Amino acid sequence: MTATPATPPGPLDLSDLSVGQELARTRHEISRDSLVRYAGASGDFNPIHYNDILATEAGLPGVIAHGMLTMGTAITGLLERLGDPTLVREYSVRFTNPIPVPATGSVTLEVIAVVGAVDSSAGTARADITAEVDGTKVLGRARATISTPAANSAGTPA
C-alpha cells in the first residue's frame, strides 16, 4: 500500500485550531498485495479478503479490503500531521461500504481530516475524517479526539 500526502509535511500547530480547518489530506493505494500483507500481520485470513468466488458467494462484489485495514489507513495522514500519535485520545468509525479490491491494480482511498469541534475547556479537538473510494464513502462518522496544547500543559489525563 502506498500513501500520497497532499498536506504539507511536518507537525501541525494545535494551539489555534478552528472548526472547518483542514488537518490532513492523503491518498492511499490499496491492492491485493496490501490485503495479503495485512492478513499476515493481523492474522485475519477470512477468504472474503482474497478469494473472489467465496466473496461473491457471501454477497459481496468481490474481494474486499479488511475493515480494520481501512480504519487504520484512514487515520495515518492525521497521525503524521500531528507528529505525535499519543495526542489521539479516541478514534472511532462506522463501516458504511466495503472497498472492493481488483485482482490486478489497486483502488485509491482518499482521506480528508478537518476540525469538527474544539473544546477549549477540555483541551481537545475533534477531527472529522472523510474516507472515500471513487466518490463512495467507505467510513461514516469517522472521528478522532485529539489533545491540544492546553490539555498537555494542564496535564489533562487521557
User: What's the whole-number mean pLDDT along residues 73-90?
Assistant: 96
Mean of all residue pLDDT scores within the chain: 91
- The CB-based long-range contact list for 8-15 (8 Å cut-off, 24+ gap) reads 9/80, 10/81, 10/83, 11/81, 11/82, 11/83, 11/84, 12/81, 12/82, 12/83, 14/82, 14/87, 14/125, 14/146, 14/147, 14/148, 14/149, 15/148, 15/149
Q: Specify whether the CB–CB gap between 98 and 49 falls below 8 A.
A: no
| 29-56 residue pLDDT tens | 999 999 999 999 999 999 999 999 999 9
The structural domains of the chain, with segments of one domain joined by +, span 2-154
**CATH for the stretch 2-154:** 3.10.129.10
Taking the C-alpha atoms of residue 106 and residue 3, their distance in angstroms, rounded to an integer, is 12
Residue type at 63 in one-letter notation = V
Reported confidence tier of residue 14, pLDDT bands at 50, 70, 90: confident
| 101-130 residue pLDDT tens | 999 999 999 999 999 999 999 999 999 999
Reported confidence tier of residue 92, pLDDT bands at 50, 70, 90: very high
Taking the C-alpha atoms of residue 111 and residue 25, their distance in angstroms, rounded to an integer, is 6
C-alpha cell at 131: 474516507
pLDDT at 75 over 50: yes
